[in-house]
Amino acid sequence: MARTAKKVESLIAEDGAMADAISTVYERTDEGTREVQWGDVSDDITSGQWGRLIEKGILVDGDEGFELSNPDAVERALEDEDATVSATTSTDDDVDDEGSSWSKWDKIAAVASLGLFAGYSIGPIKNTIGSILNVALGPIESVLPFYVVIMILAMLTGLYSTLLQDNLMDMEKMGEYQERMKEIQEKRKEAKERGDDEEMERIREEQMDAMGDQAGMMKEQFRPMVWTMFLTIPVFLWMYWRISSASAAVSPSGLVMPLVGQVSWTQGIIGPMQAWIVWYFLCSMGFTQLIRKSLNIQTTPT
């Protein structure tokens, strides 16, 4: 019973007009005691609404027509129609506001990340951040080759970026966004095949409403990215500061890369991307995949 009632409530929440359609079908079946055919209700509901009832399994095949799969559940859902629609709307608003909105700290991190970007072109910012981080990273570099230091930094940035994604992204919410868009596309395809212009117009309106879901998904995806940038840009600035430092060269002066051979740290490998950047990204991608597998962390919705 609960499953059928949930389907009815879901249809009513998607489209308030479905409440009247379901009520009409319920009445024409004499409260679920007999079967009904399309001709019995065609004057009061649209073919799209009829199709949705069959698609959701509220109407199932009978001996000569269709019958309600669970009349008692349909009756209960119709009785709770007003409360269900109100509660659903309120809950959705709360979820969207709470789950997709950024806190003041998220906004501060975003502004700070933009400010840190300036360090790539403004020397004093780069030198300041590089000097501060060198207090902690300098001793490590003094005992390890520079390419190993980059590997360690790539592993650390991969670790906290994965943990940030796992903790700041609501995979369930993103999955709901994608599921809704998938359902809309399926309904649009079915309505197009039936040639139901009225249903197509309703689906277009639903797609416009779903644009807010897409904006919410983008917020969910970008939130951990902001914090990752806030923590990773200083690391990049330190590496850039060490590579471009005239006072002390890094050791060794280069490395041997696959398919390329011996290169210097500042040599362009992929277009303008220098060797140290390419080496970092290769290490980061490899370590990030290992971390996700070992910690069983999912960073994409299902």
pLDDT one digit per residue (tens) for the chain, 302 residues: 557 777 777 778 777 778 888 888 888 888 777 888 888 888 888 877 888 888 888 888 887 788 888 888 777 777 766 444 444 444 444 434 444 457 788 888 888 888 888 888 888 888 899 889 989 998 998 889 999 999 999 999 999 988 888 887 767 777 777 787 788 888 888 888 888 777 788 888 777 777 766 676 777 778 888 889 999 999 989 998 888 875 566 778 778 877 778 888 888 888 788 888 999 999 999 999 899 888 887 766 65
Dist. CA 180–CA 96, nearest whole Å: 14
Same domain, yes or no: 165 and 67: no
| Final residue belonging to a domain, choices 97, 123, 154 | 97
pTM for this structure? 0.57
Given a contact cutoff of 8 angstroms between Cβ atoms, the answer to whether 83 and 11 are in contact is: no
Same domain, yes or no: 112 and 91: no
| Final residue belonging to a domain, choices 62, 97, 132 | 97
| pLDDT for 85 | 44
| pLDDT for 96 | 45
Residue 143: inside a domain: yes
Q: Domain span at residue 29?
A: 2-97
| pLDDT for 299 | 65
Dist. CA 55–CA 244, nearest whole Å: 64
Same domain, yes or no: 69 and 92: yes
Dist. CA 190–CA 82, nearest whole Å: 29
Number of domains in the chain: 2
Same domain, yes or no: 108 and 138: yes
| pLDDT for 252 | 83
Q: What is the radius of gyration, based on Cα positions, of the chain?
A: 29
Residue 190: inside a domain: no
| pLDDT for 100 | 47
Same domain, yes or no: 72 and 158: no
Residue 120: inside a domain: yes
| pLDDT for 264 | 84
Dist. CA 43–CA 58, nearest whole Å: 20
Cis omega before residue 252 (within 30°)? yes
| pLDDT for 175 | 73
Same domain, yes or no: 26 and 146: no
| pLDDT for 2 | 56
